[in-house]
Chain A
Amino acid sequence: MTLPEHLFDYEAHLAACARGDRQALQRLYQQEGPRLYGVLLRLVREPAVAEDLLHDAFLRIWAGAGSFDAQRGSARGWIFSVTRHLALNDLRKRQRDAPQSVLLEEVGEGLEASLQSTRIYQCLEQLPSERRACILHAYVDGFSHAEIAAKLGAPLGTVKGWVKRSLVALRECLG
Chain B
Amino acid sequence: MNDEHDGAQDELDTLAAEYVLGTLAAGPRTEVEQRLGHDAELRAAVDAWEQRLEPLGALAPAQAPSAGLWRRIERSLGQSTAPDSTSWWNRLALWRGLSAAGLAATLILGALLLIREVPVSTPSYLVVLVAPLDKSPGWVIQASDQQSIRLIPLGVVEVPQDKALQFWTKGKDWQAPVSLGLVKPGQTLQVPLDSLPPLESEQLFELTLEGPNGSATGKPTGPIQFIGRAVKVL
Interface residues of A (CB under 8 A from B): 2, 18-23, 25-26, 29, 33-35, 37-39, 41-43, 47, 50-51, 54-55, 58-59, 62, 66, 72-74, 77, 80-81, 84-85, 88-89, 91-93, 107, 111-112, 114-115, 118-121, 135-136, 138-140, 142-145, 148, 163-164, 167-168, 170-171, 174
B24 near A115: Cβ-Cβ < 8 Å: no
One of A18, A80, A89, A135 near B29 (C-beta < 8 A): A89
Q: Does B3 contact A (CB under 8 A)?
A: no
Give the residues in chain A near B54, CB-CB below 8 Å: 77, 80-81
B92 near A37: Cβ-Cβ < 8 Å: no
- The secondary structure that dominates the B interface is helix
B47 near A167: Cβ-Cβ < 8 Å: no
Residues B20-71 near A (CB distance < 8 A):
20-26, 29, 33, 43, 47, 50-66, 69-70
B25 near A144: Cβ-Cβ < 8 Å: yes
Give the residues in chain A near B60, CB-CB below 8 Å: 38-39, 41-43, 140
Given contacts A35-B62, A138-B21, contact A93 B57 (CB under 8 A): no
Give the residues in chain B near A21, CB-CB below 8 Å: 86
Instruction: Identify the closest chain A residue to B17 (Cβ).
Output: A167
B21 near A111: Cβ-Cβ < 8 Å: no
One of A43, A59, A170 near B52 (C-beta < 8 A): A170
Given contacts A20-B90, A23-B83, A167-B14, contact A139 B73 (CB under 8 A): no
A30 to B60, CA, bound (A): 18
A30 to B6, CA, bound (A): 45
Q: Does B18 contact A (CB under 8 A)?
A: yes
25 CB-based A-B contacts, threshold 8 Å: A2-B62, A20-B91, A20-B92, A22-B85, A29-B70, A33-B64, A33-B65, A33-B70, A34-B63, A34-B64, A42-B60, A51-B69, A54-B65, A77-B54, A81-B54, A111-B59, A115-B55, A138-B21, A138-B23, A139-B21, A140-B59, A148-B23, A163-B18, A170-B52, A174-B52
Instruction: Identify the closest chain B residue to A84 (Cβ).
Output: B57
Given contacts A18-B93, A73-B47, A77-B54, contact A115 B59 (CB under 8 A): yes
B74 near A22: Cβ-Cβ < 8 Å: yes
A74 to B50, CA, bound (A): 10
A22 near B86: Cβ-Cβ < 8 Å: yes
A51 to B67, CA, bound (A): 11
A41-B63, A73-B50, A73-B51 known; 10 other A-B pairs, CB under 8 Å? Answer: A20-B86, A20-B88, A20-B91, A25-B77, A38-B61, A38-B62, A92-B26, A111-B59, A163-B23, A167-B18
Q: Does B94 contact A (CB under 8 A)?
A: yes
Give the residues in chain A near B84, CB-CB below 8 Å: 23
A142 to B73, CA, bound (A): 25
Give the residues in chain A near B76, CB-CB below 8 Å: 55, 59
A78 to B33, CA, bound (A): 15
Give the residues in chain A near B148, CB-CB below 8 Å: none
Give the residues in chain A near B25, CB-CB below 8 Å: 92, 144
Nearest 5 CB-CB pairings of A with B: A20-B91, A42-B60, A34-B62, A92-B26, A22-B86
